[in-house]
Structure 1
Amino acid sequence: MAKASPEVAGFHDDKTGSVQYVVIDPQTDRCAIIDPVWNYDEASARTSTVSIDEISAFIARRRLTVDWILDTHPHADHFSAGVLLGERYGAPRAIGEKVVEVQKLWQTIYNFGADYATDGRQWDRLFADGDAFNVGALEGRVMFSPGHTLASITYVIGDAAFVHDTLFMPDSGTARADFPGGDARTLYRSIQRILELPDATRLFVGHDYRPGGREARWESTVAEQRARNSHLRDAPGEDAYVAMREARDATLPLPALMLAALQVNTRGGRLPESEDDGHSYLKIPLNRF
């Protein structure tokens, strides 16, 4: 029996290369929002809601009801807009349960105090591997897929899988695994698990950096990734993949917003508490990386 097929609308953020998704059950007009972007300008240290306002306009035009706000992991290159959208729509927010390990790791890196919660309470639900959920009448399940981060998960909804920063489009290969808590060998095993999904499964990536200046793309299939992904098409074994990934990662700079973004995203998309002047402040660990 064929799996139900959600309608998927992707919204590409040109600055960060991030792709945000609205996943729609056509039978009920209910939807989930995956990995929404809260825009941040580092030069002025100002936030804006341009990206999620575009999503909200789309949801309003389509008269959709939001069932979930879903994070695949705490992102290193943009602020999560999960809290903002949760407040707009009164929808529950969720992430993988291993986020607590990421919180503990970054609590040490930032030297946060005891008032920084590391139990995942910033979300409404922490998913375990294999957990089920619904978007309207569509059945969804969670696949634990770490490597890029300790907490990364894939959402499989009908015949679509949202694979975050594991696979990119075939001409861009696979994601880096050198962030704190990342591991190339673990990433390889997560990718193999994703590629065990049925060949026709639609895969939606978390980023597209438009190599060669082409138009942004974000949808492929398991079969296409297996045949054409530039890091996987020659079927490298685990050791060969790890050697390639670690050598490549050693040449990459940190994402420009990582040290700002992780202290927001490990709070579920909240700024640090305002100080006595009414403003929030970000904390940057000097000479740590």
Structure 2
Amino acid sequence: MASSLEPTVHPIFEPQTGTWQYVVADPVSRSAIIIDPVLDFDLSKNTVSTSTADSLLALIKEKGYTVEKLLETHAHADHLTAAKYLQSKLSNKAEVCIGKRIAQVQDRFAARYGIPRQQCEGAFDKLLEDDEVFQIGGLEAKAIWLPGHTPDHMGYMIGANVFCGDSLFNGDVGSARCDFPGGNAHELFNSATKLLSLPDTFKIWTGHDYPPGGEGGRAEPLPYMIVADQKAHNKHLKSGTSEEEFVAWRNGRDANLAEPKLIHQALQFNIRAGKLPAATAGGDRFLHVPVKVAGEGW
């Protein structure tokens, strides 16, 4: 689904979590969306702040955009979403949207972290169906289900562009982990195959980048690669890679990965679309962090 009208894309990199955020606009009507916005979190001080999100608001104001939707690709485990904060600052109350399978993710993690389920209900303004089409001014966009990294994962096709979240990374980074609850390496292979079956000139805009650096390595983050380059160079999923090879490698790699450092904070925010936990009578807000106990009998 490539429209004759192509969007204006503003990629904004958040270096602390290696996250790409996107402002995508119709150049004619100046209607826009924001994809995967980041809320800053200082782990050493347990402090939430908004400088990254405020830079998105400054861009919106500078360009004269009207934001219609705030789109999440999935419930991220490595950064906190700024969706609710941005919604509160945008004059037209843009819809916060995510794929319809977020409910199963909310169920799982609300139970794990002791969050009353009703705090998750209605957190997102719209749950998108698979292949649902919506407008951004004169642009047509389509939500695409891309499971594997997480079960709720969506991508967004706008013109000859797909904003794929964590479904596919740049060629020298490869692919995302599949060991989160509901993740599945077979499904990720199928999602990547779907993306790499698009026309060679389509741009695949990724959700993260971790430039390898080192001698001869890329030092600067890159927001997209075209499909042809992904097929030729993706180190995990280039043309000719079998599903069995990929799954064996991905599962072996995932078995030795540490959990993301912000996973507990991020999931508790993100299943609520970025809404702050309720304040206590003393004004404190709390997140639950599990403690692992070494040894037995005490």
Q: TM-score, normalised by structure 1?
A: 0.95
1:258 to 1:199, Cα distance in 2 relative to 1, 3 A: same
* Cα deviation, residue 22, structure 1: 0.3
Query: Percent same amino acid among aligned pairs?
Result: 37
Task: Report the secondary structure of 1:32's partner residue.
Answer: strand
Asked if 1:95 corresponds to 2:105, the answer is no
CA distance in 1, matches of 2:117, 2:251: 34
Q: How many residues align?
A: 286
For residues 182-216 of structure 1, what are the alpha-carbon distances to aligned partners after superposition, in whole Å with 9 as ceiling and x for unaligned?
A: 11111111111111222211110000112116011
Offset of residue 100 of structure 1? 0.3
Q: What is the rounded CA distance, in whole Å, between the counterparts of 2:69 and 2:118 in structure 1?
A: 27
1:223 aligns with 2:235: no
Instruction: Please say if residues 185 and 238 of structure 1, whose CA atoms lie closer than 8 Å, have aligned partners that are also in contact.
Output: yes
Q: How far off its partner does 1:4 sit?
A: 2.4
Shift of 1:115: 4.1
Deviation at 1:101, TM superposition (A): 0.6
Q: Distance in 2 between matches of 1:106 and 1:77?
A: 15
Deviation at 1:113, TM superposition (A): 3.7
Q: Secondary structure at the match of 1:170?
A: coil
Match of 1:17 in 2: 18
Q: Deviations over 1:140-173 (max 9, x none)?
A: 0011001111100000011110000011111100
Letter in 1 for 2:7: P
State the secondary structure of the residue aligned to 1:161: strand
Distance (Å, rounded) in 1 between the aligned partners of 2:94 and 2:239: 43
> Is the partner of 1:164 in helix, strand or coil?
coil
Which structure 2 segments of 5+ residues have no match?
294-298
Cα distance change on mapping 1:114 and 1:125 into 2, 3 Å: closer
Q: Does 1:107 align with 2:110?
A: yes
Matched, 1:158 2:159: yes
Retained in 2: the 8 A contact 1:150–1:182?
yes
Partner letter of residue 279 of structure 1? D
Aligned-pair Cα RMSD in Å:
1.5
- The answer as to whether partners of 1:4 and 1:159 remain within 8 angstroms in 2 is no
Structure 1 residue aligned with 2:6: 5
TM-score, normalised with respect to structure 2: 0.92
Do residues 250 (structure 1) and 255 (structure 2) align? yes
The alpha-carbon deviation at position 272 of structure 1 amounts to: 1.6
**1:12-51 alignment, distance < 5 Å:** 12-51=13-52
1:261 to 263, 266, 284: 266
Query: CA contact under 8 A between 2:264 and 2:289: conserved in structure 1?
Result: yes
Deviation at 1:32, TM superposition (A): 0.5
SS of residue matched to 1:264: helix
Paired with 2:209 and 2:68, the residues of 1 have a C-alpha distance of 26
- Aligned equivalents of 2:143 and 2:3: distance in 1? 19
Distance 1:16 1:206 in 2: 11
Query: What letter corresponds to residue 22 of structure 2 in structure 1?
Result: Y
Matches of 1:25 and 1:235, distance apart in 2? 37
Give the deviation of 1:2 after TM superposition: 5.9
AA matched with 1:15: Q
In structure 2, distance between residues paired with 1:58 and 1:286: 40
Structure 2 match to 1:147: 148
Cα deviation, residue 112, structure 1 = 3.2
| Structure-1 residue corresponding to 2:287 | 282
Shifted more, 31-40 versus 83-92: the winner is: 83-92
Give the 5 Å matches for 1:119-268: 119=121, 121-212=122-213, 214-268=219-273
- 8 Å CA contact retained: 1:39, 1:48: yes
User: How far 1:234 moved relative to its partner?
Assistant: 4.9
> What secondary structure, in the 3-state scheme, does the structure 1 residue paired with 2:265 have?
helix
CA distance in 2, matches of 1:19, 1:2: 23
Taking the aligned partners of 2:252 and 2:239, their CA distance within structure 1 comes to 18
SS at the partner of 1:171?
A: coil
Work out the CA distance in 1 between the residues paired with 2:117 and 2:125. Answer: 21
